[in-house]
Structure 1
Amino acid sequence: MTKTVIVLGAGSGFGLAITRAFSEAGHHPVLVARNAQNLQTMTEQLHTEGLAADWIAADATDPQQTAHLFMQVTRQFGHPQTLVYNVANTALDGPLTTPTSEISQRFDTNVLGAITTSRQFLELAPTDTPRNILFTGGGAAHHPDKTTTTLSLTKAALRSYVLSLAAEMAGTNTYVGLLTIQGISGTSEAMLPANVAQIYVKAVKDRSTTEIFYPGTTANSPSEFEQLRKLTADPVKRHDFLASHPSAAAFLQNHPEFLESSGPSR
């Protein structure tokens, strides 16, 4: 029987790569995000590659939309086996600048959405049915930085919830995994989306470790942000590095304040 995987946060980067990896492994992924046109385009791209996939538009922070999503998936494909929560607002900010209303919105996206959808997912099938819930974490949870304040606090809160949920589900047929991704997309061979995506498929196959660090097996030191600072500190080397790493260039273009920072707060 085909195993259905719901990928919440199916964007064109890691989300699409995760979807492709599961499809290549014989699963039936369902891409989920807010933008229907983007979802349709990505699904058609996968179909041209001979890969199975479907899509449903839904906002992961809207409980009514996600409840309808789960009902629709169950009706069309049966009980899904795996939920991947890959939704995140990764905007950078400092500890004194972001309005608390914006922090609240990012918390809804990065944490409350994960809590709500995981509970809804668990209500779909009997507890003796093998299921998997994977959450995309980040190195920012372990390395607070003055340019990643809200990202760090929300990823830390997500990590806390996932570890608690894993303890709650211990001894059942539900595997809960936190994929702590310690890098910025495209900055190295390991951080190519296709390589990162394989960790999700392996986690579902192994169903053992709760927190999986990638790259590496423990929390990075220095953090991915400090690594990027070192790689771009020299203007000449920065030009060459960014020319060969377009994802990192896009990151810095979207976050110009990152290069203006002199380093982490002490």
Structure 2
Amino acid sequence: MGTVVILGAGAGFGMAIARAFAQQGDHPILVARHPDSLKKLCAQLQSENLSADYLVADSTDAVQTASMFDDIQKRWELPTTLVYNVADTSLDNPLESRLDEISHRFTVNVLGAISTIRQFLALTPDDTPRNILVTGGGAALHPGQLTTSLSLTKAALRSYIFSLAPAVKDRGVYVGLITIQGIAGTSTEMEPVNVAQAYTQAARDRTATEIFYPGGEPNATSEFDQLQALTSDPEKLYAFLEEHAGAAAFIRSHPGFLKRH
């Protein structure tokens, strides 16, 4: 049993990742900014007789995350796995996004990861095998007009992971980038319960620096291009959204998506 810290523990992938680790006997600590949501998620896991706790912290605030790691050290066993599942997935284009918006997304998607990873490494001893698992995205490989900031920040995150992995390998640290190539709920493979298995499998295998999910290989197009293709026919759009609640939720939270067809 190991302590697994999951930053960005929301109701979708984050919750599924926590459940997957708890089901194999680990103790997940769910971390996000909103205590009410975290309390409900933990209560749900505990109602399933699974071990889980939560702490409140903003991944972009180094003081808060340092305090979070300090609380973990005092209350539970030192963490053996860190999952960085935080992302600002706002859609934008290369000409209209304000620089402060791009800067904010870089802070969330990249600098927050770097900061918390360094704190995790400083907290845990080198004689203990540790895992760092980071959520990437297909947009890093397929920049587009719809996903300018997301593509550039995910590409920067991917670059950091590839430089970090060999730097810490001899210290007993496995670094894995889970490159998600789909939108939650748009297919069986993209159901959160199935996506979460890629994280637990990566922590067991401790081999590949980048895991492409689903498929095992990089897709020819980004997940956003795939969703646009799936929703391009107005006559089939509503039936598709009724059948795929995850896609409908994504489109509701990204109101400009359909207008860009």
Deviation at 1:174, TM superposition (A): 0.5
Local SS of the residue matching 1:81: strand
Q: Deviations over 1:60-86 (max 9, x none)?
A: 100011011111111111210000000
Deviation at 1:237, TM superposition (A): 1.3
1:52-71 correspondence to structure 2 within 5 Å: 52-71=51-70
| Counterpart position of 2:121 | 122
**CA–CA distance in structure 2, aligned partners of residues 197 and 46 of structure 1:** 15
| Counterpart position of 2:204 | 205
Deviation at 1:261, TM superposition (A): 2.0
Local SS of the residue matching 1:123: helix
1:50-199 correspondence to structure 2 within 5 Å: 50-199=49-198
TM-score between the two structures when normalised by the length of structure 1: 0.96
Deviation at 1:182, TM superposition (A): 0.4
Equivalent AA in structure 2 for residue 154 of structure 1: T
Local SS of the residue matching 1:31: strand
Local SS of the residue matching 1:90: coil
Local SS of the residue matching 2:79: coil
Equivalent AA in structure 1 for residue 72 of structure 2: V
**CA–CA distance in structure 1, aligned partners of residues 93 and 10 of structure 2:** 26
Q: Deviations over 1:219-249 (max 9, x none)?
A: 1112211111111111111111111001101
Local SS of the residue matching 2:123: coil
**CA–CA distance in structure 2, aligned partners of residues 23 and 182 of structure 1:** 25
**CA–CA distance in structure 1, aligned partners of residues 167 and 21 of structure 2:** 26
**CA–CA distance in structure 2, aligned partners of residues 183 and 132 of structure 1:** 24
Deviation at 1:146, TM superposition (A): 0.3
Deviation at 1:254, TM superposition (A): 2.2
**CA–CA distance in structure 2, aligned partners of residues 159 and 257 of structure 1:** 26
Q: Deviations over 1:152-211 (max 9, x none)?
A: 000000000011000211233100000000000000000000000011000111111110
Equivalent AA in structure 1 for residue 59 of structure 2: A
Equivalent AA in structure 1 for residue 116 of structure 2: T
Q: How many residue pairs get matched?
A: 261
| Counterpart position of 1:253 | 252
Gaps of 5+ in 1: none
Q: Following TM superposition, where does structure 1 have runs of at least 4 consecutive aligned residues deviating by more than 4 angstroms?
A: none
Equivalent AA in structure 2 for residue 200 of structure 1: Y
Local SS of the residue matching 2:219: coil
| Counterpart position of 2:3 | 4
Local SS of the residue matching 2:170: coil
Gaps of 5+ in 2: none
**CA–CA distance in structure 2, aligned partners of residues 182 and 194 of structure 1:** 15
**CA–CA distance in structure 1, aligned partners of residues 254 and 71 of structure 2:** 37
Larger deviation: 223-232 or 156-165? 223-232
Local SS of the residue matching 2:55: strand
Equivalent AA in structure 2 for residue 22 of structure 1: F
**CA–CA distance in structure 2, aligned partners of residues 33 and 172 of structure 1:** 28
Q: Deviations over 1:30-71 (max 9, x none)?
A: 000000111011100111111110000011100011011111
**CA–CA distance in structure 2, aligned partners of residues 192 and 149 of structure 1:** 26
TM-score between the two structures when normalised by the length of structure 2: 0.98
| Counterpart position of 1:233 | 232
